[in-house]
Amino acid sequence: MKILLTGGAGYIGSHTALVLLEAGYEVVALDNLVNSSAESVVRVDKLTGGSVQLVVGDLSDQGLVESALRDGVDAVIHFAGLKAVGESIAQPLRYFSNNVSGSLSLLRAMDATGVRTLAFSSSATVYGEVERLPITEDMPLCAANPYGRTKQQIEQILVDLAGSDDRWHIALLRYFNPVGAHRSGRIGEDPHGVPNNLMPFVAQVAVGRREKLVIYGTDYPTPDGTCIRDYVHVMDLARGHLAALEALPDWPGAHAWNLGTGRGASVWEVLRAFERAVGHDLAHQVGPRRPGDAPVSYADTSRAASDLSWSATHSLDDMCADHWRWQQDNPDGYPG
């Protein structure tokens, strides 16, 4: 089986490429490298002894995507997209164009070449503020920012597409908060500029690239006053894609699955766990709330467990230890 990973040089894509190669799949990565480095693919090859075929190009280049698909591809995992919430508020046209129009172009290429099996990188952000917890897949979708709305719109397009033609088999994989790295420390998350997300920021404080963590609010209605999220190890997430690919032949249509641990951790708990990994305290201060943050978010993962036979196995301490190993060994991320 040959799988095309759009965005395959990125954080989650590179870890998934590794898991797929280890499981005996052939992997083609199509990436314009706007938020990644070709070095990640080189390192995946070294770690696995395999070979990812890297196609440097854009999702919107339908001819290029079609020629990649015609080269024996059986299924697509669609990671490619822009993902910074703040940037999406400042540049909505860029986000809708890259994420939504880019996905339409990919889908046209898939339809034209008869490759109709797809796993899509969606996000827990599509749920917005929820009325009850844990979050189940049947809850209404109400994304609260342009980035989230691109995910919600792409999901809707995929549902309509699958409704029009039962040859499509589509997984809408709603990731909660991916963190961590491959335990070798050779591949990991390499955010450009100031990290928006908690764990990469804490990791950069630990390695001396940032002065201190600002905790965005300690007056939330949670046990310790900080927001709670469902952090999931990127290697568990990568295995989730393998599980979805293996299950999809039995699932015509479009189906949503939450990928998380089902457990929440607060900002304080993440900071303390990272300090345990590093072996000393990390500089931090309490700041005001970040607008738009939901107080609590964690997944009901029972659907993925029963339908995909998948569940996360790594603890928060594993996530911090692996994230820290990557950051310590690559303080400035990938070279170049």
Q: Which of 99, 117, 122, 177 binds ligand UFG (CB under 6 A)?
A: 177
Residue 331, number of CB atoms within 10 A of its CB: 12
Residue 313, number of CB atoms within 10 A of its CB: 11
Q: Which of 85, 104, 159, 207 binds ligand UFG (CB under 6 A)?
A: 85
Q: Which of 121, 123, 258, 301 binds ligand UFG (CB under 6 A)?
A: 123
Q: Which does 10 bind (CB under 5 to 8 A by kind): ligand NAD, ligand UFG, none?
A: ligand NAD
Q: Which of 22, 137, 159, 216 binds ligand UFG (CB under 6 A)?
A: 216
Stretch that binds ligand NAD, among 67-75, 80-88, 288-296, 307-315 (CB under 6 A): 80-88
Measuring CA to CA, which residue among 4, 53, 45 is closest to residue 22?
45
3-class secondary-structure state, position 93: helix
Q: Which of 169, 229, 233, 263 binds ligand UFG (CB under 6 A)?
A: 229
Interface with ligand NAD in residues 162-201 (CB under 6 A): 175, 178
Beta carbon nearer to ligand UFG, 4 or 143 = 143
Residue 183, number of CB atoms within 10 A of its CB: 14
Structure tokens at 159: 């549902």
Structure tokens at 168: 């499509």
Work out whether 32 is an interface residue with ligand NAD (CB under 6 A): yes
For helices 267-278 and 316-329, give the axis angle rounded to 10 degrees.
Answer: 50
Inter-CA distances, 288 with 61, 86, 214, 285, Å: 43, 17, 9, 10
147 flagged as catalytic: yes
Q: How far is the CB of 215 from ligand UFG (least distance, A)?
A: 4
Measuring CA to CA, which residue among 261, 149, 265 is closest to residue 199?
265
- Residues that are catalytic: 147
The residues binding ligand UFG (CB under 6 A) are 83, 85, 123-125, 147, 175-177, 196-198, 201, 213-216, 227, 229, 267, 290, 293
